[in-house]
Amino acid sequence: MSKNVKKQEAGNQGHGTRKPSAQIIIGLGTCGIAAGAWDVWTAFEKELKKRKVKAELKQTGCIGLCYREVLVDVVTPRGKIAYGNVTPAMVSRIVSSHLIADKPIEDWIVLGDGYETSDTDFLARQYRIVLRNCGQIDPEVIEEYLATGGYKALEKVLREVPPEEVISIIKQSGLRGRGGAGFPTGRKWEFTRRAQGDKKYIVCNADEGDPGAFMDRSVLEGDPHSVLEGMLIAGYAIGADEGYIYVRAEYPLAVKRLRIAISQAREKGFLGKSVMDTPFSFDIKIKEGAGAFVCGEETALIASIEGRRGMPRLRPPYPATSGLWGKPTCINNVETLANVAWIVSNGAAEFAAIGTEKSKGTKIFAVTGKVKNSGLVEVPMGTALREVIFGICGGIKDDGEFKAVQIGGPSGGCLPAELLDITIDYESLTATGAIMGSGGMVVADQSTCMVDLARFFLDFTQNESCGKCVPCRLGTKRMLEMLTRITRGRTRDDDLELLETLARDVKVASLCGLGQTAPNPVLTTLKYFGHEYDVHIKERRCRAGVCTELVTYAIKDNLCKGCGVCVKHCPVDAISGARKEVHHIDESKCVKCGLCMEHCPFDAINKV
Amino acid sequence: MGCICGARGRENPHLSRLGEILDKHRNDAGFLIPVLQEAQDAYGYLSEDVLEAISTEMSVPLSQIYGVTTFYSQFRLHPHGREIIKVCHGTACYVSGAEGITKGIAEELGIKVGETTKDRLFTLESVACLGCCSLAPVMMINKETYGRLTSDIARGVIKKYE
Ligand SMILES: Cc1cc2nc3c(=O)[nH]c(=O)nc-3n(C[C@H](O)[C@H](O)[C@H](O)COP(=O)(O)O)c2cc1C
Ligand code: FES
């Protein structure tokens, strides 16, 4: 575990006047809740009452070990021990053995001082700055954030550091935007500060539209004050007195926790008029998105806050000179802002010492898909891709074989095994044809068809294209049509060539980042998985068995026991065979629904 | 859509809740989207009546309101089922078998994506990412998220809502 977390834990112990003998802390992020955390909570409530055990039941955000949800920390004088995959049925034993008899249940422990488990490495090999408090504090209690040194950075700048100097600290730290483009944050602040205008805004971009990315959600749910503090410092630095947080509609819990955090910060005098009794005033409003991916793009986001259709516009003018309601506006991503207080407290040099020459600090990756340990991984920039996927996340699930990793969402690219040793930073990723993007990493194994995956992304971007510019509106549509033809075995002769040409044209001619990056998944799969396109086109086969029209179902003679389950499930009566004898599928009738394969008790049916 | 000159507004008792929403946002810059969101929360969907009243009361052309409501996927111009099932088809869910989940639910309910059951109990939708990717495949029913689904688990969850 990184030293930041250690420091913070020490702080936590000092806090609180009334200290019950034990604490039970349940991870109540969206992921924990989806895994059943509330049922576990209720089970603890009942069990503690029944056994008359005095222990405080508390909540925390997501620590990032999502594959172990529901996570429960038990804090007793012997220290903190975390149990994973907790179900209500396990609660009574945790209470009787751990809390009453003081005997932790070793088989269920995922983390704990002095315990070496298969999960120890997941956190030990990370370096946590942005996630420093996630899963450690109760996000709905401002005192817990304060006990970790929260709002000290704000106090320091308000009392001791002039705005220009704050900007130069951020510039020296080398912090770059985590929302995708990687623009130097200090320079963006400087442009906005220098822009002419009586009124300026800070906007926090919490739209997190990339499917497969959820680090911003975890930070907002697990440590909302760190984002507010970052916005306050940014506001002070550029001379803004108002901020907006634009949160996507799919994140109701993040919105709730932000509202609580804002009202607590207001009560404590960190927000509102004369922040901490200084001349600086600042307030924050929440705007909820309404479901449009393109609204993550900064000019579209501004249009959306203003109440209009979220369509991007040409830049310049950049928002720094003409943004929200025509005023100078600085837009930063959640993760970018959550770094700010740490940098102010620990110094630019300490931040700049982490990472590579051009990419400083850490980056959070949301590693999901066919990987053993899926969750949030925060590592120094420059860490090898292999270390993240195999070292920290334990490699491929069910002992499958690694095929590709998709980085950067629909704007990113698919990288093959040969590139696992590249280091992750803005420049080296861009060189491969992928991009850092928001840091989503979806790992695919042999069961994923790369042509189909490219089609999937095009389907997404084509759907989300706002329609303002022709290359994006029509280009993505035509590309999607070609990819669909390929996955259906109806390729025309020149499709592949046309696909590549069109992809390059859409990239250079589109108005905003959506169109400019939409072809990336296609171009990278063509580059690294070209042979899969060939097999689809020339052999009309999909080796992964995904493209329905290119597969056939067959019954393996040696495994079929003639039980008749498949016959029952087949919706079109395509399967026949006498009882206890090998069955057969009539290809001319088969609609390739896959129900037979799903229900066969002997795994006797496969796709070829 | 009707014309916008008609002064159908608060006289309609059905629209009194809308009046409260409009009053709350009357002085906000960029009020249109929050007003539409709250109206939809209150009424379940945005009917012509509601849109016309917003247009008249807030002096925004109906065409502009219609433009906004059709741009964002959150807004509904037609009634939907009591429970809205959103099956995630984001990348992580897609590679983990989201298609199968949707297929299973569609079969269970006898509807296609985008449709509502005859008894108006369920609407089935497909969404891009619910931010719960590590528990893929995932679905959301109203504000509850369910993860680590299989087709059978998903069917089971739906039965709970019937
Ligand atoms: C189509 C599109 C979607 C985007 N989505 C997001 C997003 O969800 N979150 C985000 O922070 N930035 C997103 N961006 C990038 C923003 O336009 C902007 O660069 C960023 O918020 C700036 O903050 P940063 O400098 O802190 O990264 C998106 C850009 C494009 C073109
Ligand atoms: S991809 Fe399904 S929740 Fe993110």
**Number of folded domains that form chain A:** 5
- Return the CATH number at A566: 3.30.70.20
Instruction: Give the C-alpha separation, A465 to A515, whole Å.
Output: 7
- Residues A439, A481, single domain; the answer is no
Q: Are A496 and A525 in contact (CB under 8 A)?
A: no
Say whether both A236 and A303 belong to one domain: yes
Write the Ramachandran bin of A467: left for phi over 0, alpha for psi from -120 to 50, otherwise beta: left
> Rounded mean pLDDT of A382-397?
96
Q: What is the pLDDT of residues A127-160, one digit of tens each?
A: 999 999 999 999 999 999 999 999 999 999 999 9
Distance A313 CA to ligand 1 centre (A): 14
Distance CA A91, CA A57 (A): 13
Tokens of A330: 């600085």
| The pLDDT of residue B89 | 95
Closest CA to A2 of A122, A175, A87: A122
> What is the identity of the amino acid at A173?
S
A107 and A148 both lie in a single domain: no
User: Is residue B7 very low, low, confident or very high in pLDDT (cuts 50, 70, 90)?
Assistant: very low
Phi–psi pair at A438, nearest 5 degrees:
-85, -10
Residues A323 and A436 in one domain: no
* CB-based contact B131 A30, cutoff 8 Å: yes
Q: How confident is the model at residue B13 (pLDDT cuts 50, 70, 90)?
A: low
Same-domain pairing of A213 and A251: yes
Q: Would you call A305 and B147 a contact, using CB atoms and an 8 Å cutoff?
A: no
Q: What is the share, in percent, of chain A residues with pLDDT greater than 70?
A: 97
Domain with residue A397: its CATH number is: 3.10.20.600
Min Cα distance B144 → chain A (Å) is 7
Residues of chain B above pLDDT 90, percent: 80
What backbone torsions phi and psi does residue B87 show, to the nearest 5 degrees? -90, 130
pLDDT value at residue B143: 82
Chain A residues 10-69 within an 8 A CB cutoff of chain B: 30-31, 33-35, 66-67, 69
Question: How far apart are the C-alpha atoms of A77 and A251, rounded to whole Å?
Answer: 36
**Angle ∠(A480,A481,A487) on CA atoms, nearest 5:** 85
Name which of A575, A549, A547, A552 is nearest A563 in CA terms: A575
pLDDT at B1 over 80: no
* Residue A76 Cα distances to A14, A89, A112, A161, angstroms: 15, 22, 12, 41
A16 Cβ neighbours under 8 A, 6+ residues apart: none
Same domain, A206 and A341: yes
pLDDT digits (tens, 9 = 90+) for A7-56: 333 334 444 444 567 999 999 999 999 999 999 999 999 999 999 999 99
Q: Which of A195, A506, A412 is nearest to A320 (CA)?
A: A195
Interval A167-189: pLDDT, tens:
999 999 999 999 988 999 999 99
Q: Give the angle subtended at the CA of A34 by the CAs of A29 and A40, to the nearest 5°.
A: 80
Task: With a cut of 90, say whether residue A494 has pLDDT above it.
Answer: no
Residues of B within 8 A of A366 (CB-CB) are 133-134
pLDDT number for residue B6: 43
Q: Give chain A positions within 8 Å (CB) of B92.
A: 211-212, 368-369, 374, 442
Is residue A384 within 8 Å of A457, Cβ to Cβ? no
Task: Report if residue A64 sits inside a domain.
Answer: yes
- Return d(Cα A187, Cα A202) in angstroms, integer: 14
CB A362 within 8 A of CB A378: yes
Round to whole Å and give the CA distance between B151 and A448.
19
Average pLDDT of the segment spanning A587-602: 90
Question: Of A445, A472, A507, which marks where a domain is finished?
Answer: A445
- Both A422 and A502 in one domain: the answer is no
Nearest in space to A131 (alpha carbons), one of A376, A349, A425: A376
Distance CA A378, CA B20 (A): 45
**The pLDDT of residue A238 is above 60:** yes
What is the predicted pLDDT for the residue at A11? 38
Q: What is the pLDDT of residue B12?
A: 67
Q: What is the DSSP string of B5-44?
A: -S--STTSGGGHHHHHHHHHHTT-TT-HHHHHHHHHHHHS
Which residue is it, tokens 């095929």? A403
Q: CA quadruple A66, A70, A75, A80: dihedral positive or negative?
A: negative
Amino acid A594: pLDDT: 86
**Do residue A299 and residue A377 come from a single domain?**
no
Taking CA atoms, what residue in A is nearest to B128?
A211
List all residues of chain A from 193 to 232 with a beta carbon under 8 Å from chain B. 208-214, 217
DSSP for residue A230? H
Does A3 reside within a domain? no
The verdict on residue A129 lying in a domain is no
**Residue A6: pLDDT band with limits 50, 70, 90:** very low
Tell me the pLDDT tens digit for each residue of A291-318. 999 999 999 999 999 999 999 999 999 9
Query: Exposed e or buried b for every residue in B113-147, given b needs 16+ CB within 10 A?
Result: eebbbeeeebbbbbbbbbbbbbbbbbbbbeeebbb
Which pLDDT score is estimated for A290? 95
Please write down the long-range contacts of A392-398, taking CB distance under 8 Å and 24 or more positions apart.
A392/A121, A392/A122, A392/A125, A392/A126, A392/A367, A393/A122, A393/A367, A393/A443, A394/A118, A394/A122, A395/A371, A396/A370, A396/A371, A396/A372, A396/A443, A396/A445, A397/A370, A397/A371, A397/A372, A397/A445, A398/A370
Whether residue A153 lies inside any domain: the answer is yes
The complex's ipTM? 0.90
User: What 8-state DSSP symbol labels residue A150?
Assistant: T
Domain ranges, residue A509: 450-539
Domain match, A476 and A385 both: no
Q: Looking at the structure, do residues A380 and A493 belong to the same domain, yes or no?
A: no
**How many contacts (CB atoms, under 8 Å) link A and B?**
140
- Look at residue B3 and tell me whether its pLDDT is greater than 80: no
Percentage of chain B surpassing pLDDT 70? Answer: 92
As to burial, measured by CB atoms within 10 angstroms (0-12 exposed, 13-18 middle, 19+ buried), residue A184 is middle
Listed by number, the residues of chain B in 47-106 with a beta carbon closer than 8 Å to a beta carbon of chain A are 67-68, 71-75, 88, 90-96, 100, 103
Tell me the average pLDDT across A332-350. Answer: 98
Q: Ligand 1 site: residues with CB under 6 angstroms?
A: A 177-181, 183, 205, 207-209, 294, 296-298, 331-333, 336, 438, 512-514
More confident residue, A226 or A588: A226
The conformational region for residue B75 under phi > 0 = left, psi -120 to 50 = alpha, else beta, is beta
| Mean per-residue pLDDT, A332-358 | 98
Pocket residue to mutate for ligand 1, from A215, A238, A298, A473, most atoms within 8 A of Cβ? A298
Do A228 and A294 lie in one domain? The reply is yes
Name the E strands within A289-374: 329-333, 362-369
Span A409-451, pLDDT tens digits: 899 999 999 999 999 999 999 999 999 999 999 999 999 999 9
Domains defined along chain B, listed by start: 13-71 (no CATH), 83-161 (3.40.30.10)
Q: Which are the contacts of A95, defined by CB distance < 8 A and separation ≥ 6?
A: A44, A47, A48, A51, A53
Give B4's pLDDT tier (boundaries 50, 70, 90).
very low
- For the segment B45-72, what is each residue's pLDDT rounded down to a tens digit? 999 999 999 999 999 999 999 999 999 9
Residue B5 has what pLDDT?
A: 41
* CA–CA separation, A244 and B102 (whole Å): 36
Domain annotation covers residue A357: no
**Contact (Cβ atoms closer than 8 angstroms) between residue A303 and residue A290:** no
Examine the pLDDT at A396 and tell me if it is beyond 80: yes
What is the C-alpha separation between A458 and A463, in angstroms, rounded?
8
Whether residues A314 and A185 share a domain: the answer is yes
Query: Among A219-223, B18-22, B91-95, B141-145, which stretch is predicted with the lowest mean pLDDT?
Result: B141-145
d(CA A298, CA A281): 25
Structure tokens given for B127: 């969404």
Q: Does B160 contact A at CB distance below 8 Å?
A: no
According to DSSP, the β-strands at A584-585 and A575-576 are antiparallel
Which domain-ending residue is among A124, A157, A186? A124
Q: What angle do CA A120, A124, A125 make, to 5 degrees?
A: 120
How many other CB atoms sit within 10 Å of the CB of residue A265?
Answer: 26
- Is residue A38 a part of any domain in this protein? yes
Q: Tell which of A62, A96, A124 closes a domain.
A: A124
Q: Is residue A245 part of a domain?
A: yes
| pLDDT top residue among A504 and A4 | A504
- Distance CA(A459)–CA(A504), nearest Å, equals 18
Q: What is the pLDDT of residues A62-116, one digit of tens each?
A: 999 999 999 999 999 989 999 999 999 999 999 999 999 999 999 999 999 889 8
Cβ(A440)–Cβ(A366) below 8 Å: yes
Give B134→chain A minimum CA distance, Å: 5
Q: What pLDDT digit, counting tens, does each position of A252-297 carry?
A: 999 999 999 999 999 999 999 999 999 999 999 999 999 999 999 9
Structural domain includes residue A136 = no
